[in-house]
Amino acid sequence: MNHEQVVAMAEETGLPFAYDHFVEGQSPEPPFLVFLYPGTNNFAADGIAYFKVNRLHLELYTDEKSIELEEKVEDVLTRHGIFYGKSEVWIESENLYEVRYEMEV
């Protein structure tokens, strides 16, 4: 999955989104998504990256817990055949829940 396909997948959620972060002062009200590529898990052969795999984090931010929004995001990931891990944290300083989906694309 290339970057354009990841963007199209984020668009399918119907939520505002940005790569890595929103520009200061332009962050929308929650809920919103942020995605980033924090690393790779490439397959090497003959001393080169023979098959490139990006790690992808898709982060859902909400001001209150929303199972419905999580299911919506998960439905999009499932439609794209993506296996993911999921974690959640309350960010007290921001008064936001962060639900992180970690996958490889």
Residue owning tokens 């003959």: 46
pLDDT score recorded for residue 97: 97
Structural domain count, the chain: 1
Q: Residue 45's pLDDT is what? A: 93
CA distances from 43 to 53, 57, 71, 73 (A): 8, 20, 32, 28
Domain assignment of residue 93, given as a range: 3-104
Predicted TM-score (pTM) of the model is 0.93
Question: How confident is the model over 26-40, as a mean pLDDT?
Answer: 96
- Give the pLDDT of residue 54: 95
Where does the pLDDT of residue 69 fall: very low under 50, low under 70, confident under 90, or very high at 90 and above?
very high
Q: What is the CATH number of the domain that holds 54?
A: 3.30.2000.30
